[in-house]
Amino acid sequence: MAATIKDIKDMTGLSLATISKYLNGGNLLPENREKIEKAIEELHYEVNEMARGLVTSQSKVIGVVVFNIANVFTCTLLRFLGERFREAGYASMICDSQNDEQVEADNIRFLMGKKVDGLIVIPVGRTPEFLEPALRADIPIVLLDRSLKGSGFDCVMVDNRTASYQAVEMLCSYGHRRIAIIGSESEFTGRERLEGCLQLLKKEKIDIPPEYLKLGLHSIEHGYRSMQELLQLEVPPTAVFMGNFEIILGAVMALNESAFQCPADISLIGFDDLIISNLSNPRLTLVVQPLQDLADRAADLLLRRLEEGRGAPRAEDGQQQVMENEELILPALIVEGDSIKRCSE
């Protein structure tokens, strides 16, 4: 149905090779160039990327595998990644792992079948087995936002630990000592943030009673329940650290339904996403991740690897070139709102 270079050949009388050369930016007589352009125009010719890919065994496509596409964090990253890759002449092929390691593994295999040139991965779990097919294909991989066990991978992420440390530090600096944490132990970023919090509490010699430590999933549900429970406590906390967007959502929801006021009765600090702050009243004090930076660095790193790969894929003696893997840890920023009050107790 669609036109091929053969149709162009028939139309112009030139050979396939000449046309191919035109397509790939070679030199030819202006006269022939014109002929070809005219034919392309008339036939609505477009390169068949499958055929081209079959020959060149590269696709000019980056595979982007995200743990969960249905959230703002991921989408924003996708936007920035896409822009960057587009500028560099690559298209991106986005796959959603739906928070399921099985689907994730399928995605990798799928993208290998599509012969993507490189991979950006926000992984679901912690183990790197699912990347086997990509490793075997020997294409560059950059992990985003989360690292993998054993590592050895290129990786760009946020310094969750330090940011959480500073967040709780801020609560302390306002005089709070009855501090609760709603977070997660089961999610990678959750664990890191938790550790940061606990580290500061330890340093400040603040004990956190078990009923103040609410660990579960990064879900609205968990945030909602936990906040409810905290508020019903005999001695409720004076301040709460909330570990991610969904938790904040649920927690603020529970708070709004209660008789408690923020910051009069309870102070809040949360991790993730500036949008929330604009909606809630009073404005939430937040730890905000540098999403643009995160995406740009990851894209640039992958693009660089792609470049390197083209240049000197292997050492002269035929040995696999051992490249140092790069780990970029970006700082998060605390944006102050009005959700923290000086604690008088």
The verdict on 91 binding DNA (CB under 7 A) reads no
H-state helical runs in the chain: 5-12, 16-23, 30-43, 49-56, 72-87, 101-113, 132-137, 160-173, 188-203, 220-232, 245-257, 275-279, 291-311
Which tokens hold the place of 62? 């980056």
Cβ-based nearer residue to its own copies, 82 or 196? 82
Please list the residues that pair with 64 across neighbouring strands: 94, 120
Shortest reach from residue 62's CB to its own copies, in Å:
12
**Binding string, 176-215, against its own copies, x = CB under 8 A?**
----------------------------------------
Q: Are 108 and 134 in contact (CB under 8 A)?
A: yes
Considering only residues 268 to 297 of the shown chain, the ones binding its own copies according to CB under 8 A are 275-276, 278-283
The verdict on 133 binding DNA (CB under 7 A) reads no
Q: Are 139 and 116 in contact (CB under 8 A)?
A: yes
List 37, 39, 57, 169, residue binding DNA (CB under 7 A): 57
List 4, 71, 219, 325, residue binding its own copies (CB under 8 A): 71
Which tokens hold the place of 247? 């938790």
Which tokens hold the place of 333? 């920023």
* Stretch of 46-54, 69-77, 133-141, 179-187 lying at the interface with DNA (CB under 7 A): 46-54
Which of the listed partners (DNA, its own copies, none) does 263 bind, with a CB threshold of 5 to 8 Å by partner kind? Answer: none
For residue 205, which phi and psi values (nearest 5 degrees)?
55, 40
- Residues in contact with DNA by CB under 7 A are 2, 4-6, 13-18, 20-21, 23-24, 26-29, 31-32, 45, 47-48, 51-52, 54-57
